[in-house]
Amino acid sequence: MKKSVRISLAAAGLALLAGMGIWFIPGMKFSAWLCGGMAAALLLWAALCRWSEKSRAGKVCKVLFLLCAVMGILSFAVVEAFLVKVGRIPPYGDPPAAMVVLGAGVNGTTPSVVLASRLNTARAYLGQMPPDTPVILSGGQGPGEDITEAQAMYNYLTAVGMNGDRLYLEESSTTTAENLAYSSAVLDKLGIDTYHNSVAVVTNDFHMARVRYLADFETPMSVTGVPARLPYWWLTANYYTREYFALAKALWNRLNGAG
């Protein structure tokens, strides 16, 4: 067995073990699945290396696999650089007419680390806005959630002293596109034109590029991004990596006319 094959098999085993270990870290399920995918890719590479020793077709497939891998890595690097750049843009311009806080996972009734980071960022930014600025808490109820994300956000913010009268719950959305569309509808009922008036949208830095894309091309909404950062680097790396695929899916859906 060639050295390259042995290295590929060993790397596949390590990736699989890493995925099994990461699986039990809260919020890291995506990285666990990604490690599994990497293990499968490495096993395929090992098989192609063996096949290429015996067949011309195997050599062609090996080259094609390598080209696809290089193109994937390059596209990943470019997109990640773009995501980081957009995620670091601070709020700018005139004070927004309203705020929308996008939902994220809830553990039973408790906001996840991701959602708590958004709520804490929203609280800090609201201190710079007029006290009567309406705040839309946007998020429905998903698997493992005993209440809607909007209700969990309301409970969290009122528990730390925020006036509940300025908080409006949007409890039907299950995707980012629905977050923006349904929140825009709520603001429209409040008499706020979200196209001509800026709306502060609070979400995490890794998520901001997709929010801006959806706001520009699907809602539409004039967005002032308020990026929240996660407290742990490994969660940040996990979600930035996942966002590469989420953004690709959003672009694919648009190209194919899907919602």
Residues 105-120: pLDDT tens digits? 999 999 999 999 999 9
Tokens linked to 27: 């919020």
Predicted TM-score (pTM) of this structure: 0.90
Closest CA to 102 of 24, 14, 3, 211: 211
Residue identified by tokens 């309406």 is 134
Closest CA to 26 of 99, 107, 95: 107
User: Which spans in the chain are helix H?
Assistant: 3-22, 29-52, 56-87, 113-126, 149-159, 176-189, 208-217, 233-255
Tokens linked to 35: 């490690």
Per-residue pLDDT of 25-70, as tens digits, reads: 988 999 999 999 999 999 999 999 999 988 899 999 999 999 999 9
